[in-house]
Amino acid sequence: MKSQQTFLLTEKITTAFLMHVVKTANLFSSYIVVEISNTTLNVKSLLSMSALNGYRGSLVVIAVGTDSKEALETLSNYFLELQKRTI
């Protein structure tokens, strides 16, 4: 099963935020990525996600797997909280 959600962030993403997202993503068995422009980042890899440090703009979170719905719902809460702080 595939689930995805788009977010628009105007506040810069911090390293602490990224570490929290990566740690949480690793609790799920689904394959989870973030897409920005033409780049796909593995959400379970801090090295990959470090490309988002200081990022502002639109991004898409995509989860594929048996627990994709739950994974996306959990991670969406983090991105929605960050998105609310930017409005």
Q: What is the pLDDT of residues 63-76, one digit of tens each?
A: 999 999 999 999 99
The CATH number given to whatever domain includes residue 39 is 3.30.1340.10
Mean pLDDT score, 80-84: 79
Q: Containing domain of residue 53, as a range?
A: 2-86
pLDDT tens profile 6-58? 998 888 899 999 999 999 999 999 999 999 989 999 999 999 999 999 999 99
Of the two residues 87 and 47, the one the predictor is more confident about is 47
Query: Could you give phi then psi for residue 41, rounded to 5 degrees?
Result: -115, 135
pLDDT band at 87 (very low <50, low <70, confident <90, very high): very low
Handedness of CA 25, 20, 69, 8 (dihedral sign): negative
Q: Name the residue among 36, 27, 25, 13 with its Cα closest to residue 63.
A: 25
> What pTM was computed for the model?
0.90
- Note whether 33 and 43 are within 8 A (CB): yes
> In the chain, how many domains are there?
1
